[in-house]
A and B are shown apart, each in its own frame.
Chain A
Amino acid sequence: MISSKKNLKHLSATILSLAIVLSVFTPAEASSADKAFLDDIVESQPYAIVVTGADNIAAYKEAGIIKSYTPDSSKLQNIDVLKDADSISIMGTSIPTSPWDLGNNNYRNFTYSMSTYLYSNYKYMPDAYSLDIWHEITPDQPQKLKIQCYKSSDNSTWGKGFELEIDDVAYAGIATPLGYYYFKYSSIEGKTISGSGVVY
């Protein structure tokens, strides 16, 4: 019992540090249980920390501030192609129904091209130990991209979403309790933007 309490305390401390220093989405419409949980792990205002530059990212990964994933050639086929309704192939424009468990380094690659918005191809379950979902995004051109997270259970927003102005590889992490979450990506200015990324 004591051991499990200690583990819980340790886990809470880990979540706390991740939630505070990295990227936090405060739930806009979270249940009371979730709110109680989040009261312990997030600050009152939602915010994100975005780190750019390959050398800078390497330093933040080494310091344990940015979570890493291990590239695995056997997962190269796990590429989700996301294109919006203006493109020839219409994918990712509806709310995803297929689940994907991100635990055990089970990340997914994706490419995107859109002028309006699109959804992730999967609803993701975060790693049970870290309880966060990370995005690595490499834009093809300077762009303004909004990322909004949703709880899959009731399609409510998880945080208010963040508007990123990026021209280089960028990382953003979101603290999430256990459950399924999906993402909506929007081109803020309605211009065609493209790039690639990894969800892990």
Chain B
Amino acid sequence: MHTKEKVKIIVLLFMLFSAIAFSCKSYYKIFTSNNYSIDMDEYLSYALAGTTQLILSNNSEHIKILSCYPEKDKIILVLEGNIPIDVHSEDIESLFYIVDDYNNKARLQITGIFCDETLKPPQYQWIISCEAQVKGRPTKFNLNYKNYKIPIILTNIKSNSKHRNAFNISESGNVKVAAITRYVDTLLEVTLISDIRSNIASIDCFKKDIVLSDKNGNIYYALDRNTYNVNTFYFDAKLSDELELDISSINVSYNDAENSHTSIMLKGNWHMLLR
């Protein structure tokens, strides 16, 4: 073989390998852009580590992300807010959507709405639990509300936000309970409330059946204090101490077909992280 032919072959091989390398690079980029580089088991350990809050300058309105974590191909969120919304409207879902760095958008599907509609601001607050079907395994994305963007970073550190402030207490049925929190003076006010879109007419929880504990093992019992709601309790505790609310019993009244109430006392050992 002549030297010229050898050079030609070397050049052709070089071009071929360059083309393959370029293809691989592009391929690799596609995968990393969707975060498939994170193993699914590892991804499921990711969550928002604390809270992230949008505060509007007018009237101190806010939306706070209490909980955010992946579950298979979905992102689960629990939002708290006092921005006036019609909690019975089907249009609530159109207020929010998720968008990642690659402009992949996902609408939220609401799985529970909790609100004491008798209250006016500043007491008026709502909690929404919802989920969004997402592409890839995103760890960094925005929750968009109207023109506002709330950045969300998921991490795999232990202090995450899973099952915070809202959960289903019934193993067989659908009894979703949420805890709305705020400070009154320096006391922590905790109000338990049921999903307003469910067939539950009311829930009742007794003071003796709930207790708080913090990260240091301190136990807090509800204080004796007049409340505007039978399910509102006051504690001398701080949310920043990573509180857990333990509930041992809840009386649930259902709206049945005859428009009368059926009450059932549910007993269990439920734990809910609070923020």
B211 at the interface (CB under 8 A from A): no
Binds B, one of A32-40, A52-60, A83-91, A105-113: A52-60
Residue A65 is within 8 A (CB to CB) of chain B in the complex: yes
Among the stretches B7-15, B71-79, B147-155, B198-206, the one at the interface with A is B147-155
Q: Is the CB of A56 within 8 A of B56?
A: no
| Shortest distance from the beta carbon of B166 to any chain A beta carbon, whole Å | 18
CA of A179 to CA of B104, assembled, Å: 38
Does B90 lie at the interface of the complex (its beta carbon under 8 Å from any beta carbon of A)?
Answer: no
Residues of A within 8 A of B54 (CB): 47-49
A11 to B122, CA, bound (A): 39
Question: DSSP class of B's interface residues: helix, strand, loop or mixed?
Answer: strand
A55/B57 in contact, CB under 8 A: no
User: Interface readout for A46-74 with B: 1 if CB under 8 Å, 0 if not?
Assistant: 11111111111111100101000000000
Q: Kindly identify, within residues 45 to 66 of chain B, every residue whose CB is under 8 Å from any CB belonging to chain A.
A: 48-58, 60
> Please, which residues of chain B bring their CB within 8 A of the CB of A163?
55, 60
A20 on the B face (CB < 8 A) = yes
Question: How many A residues, CB 8 Å from partner?
Answer: 38
Nearest CB of chain B from residue A52's CB, rounded to whole Å: 5
With contacts A20-B149, A21-B142, A47-B148 taken as known, whether A53 is within 8 angstroms of B49 at the C-beta atoms is: yes
- Residues of A contacting B51 in the complex (Cβ-Cβ under 8 angstroms): 51-53, 56
State in angstroms the CA–CA spacing of A43 and B54 once bound together: 14
In this complex, the member of A21, A48, A52 whose beta carbon has the largest number of chain B beta carbons within 10 angstroms is A52
> What 0/1 pattern do residues 99 to 143 of A give for CB contact below 8 A with B?
000000000000000000000000000000000000000000110
| CB of B183 within 8 Å of the partner chain | yes
Instruction: Name the residue on B nearest A44 (C-beta).
Output: B147
Determine the chain B residues whose CB is within 8 A of the CB of A57 once the complex forms: 50
| A92 at the B interface (CB under 8 A) | no
> In chain B between 150 and 195, which residues have their CB closer than 8 angstroms to a CB of chain A?
150-151, 153-155, 157, 159, 182-183, 185-186, 188
A50 touches B57 (CB 8 A): no
* A26 / chain B contacts, CB cutoff of 8 Å: 57
Sorted nearest first, the 5 A-B pairs with minimum C-beta distance are A53-B50, A56-B50, A168-B240, A55-B49, A56-B49
- B residues apposed to A, CB below 8 Å: 48-58, 60, 140, 142, 147-151, 153-155, 157, 159, 182-183, 185-186, 188, 238-240
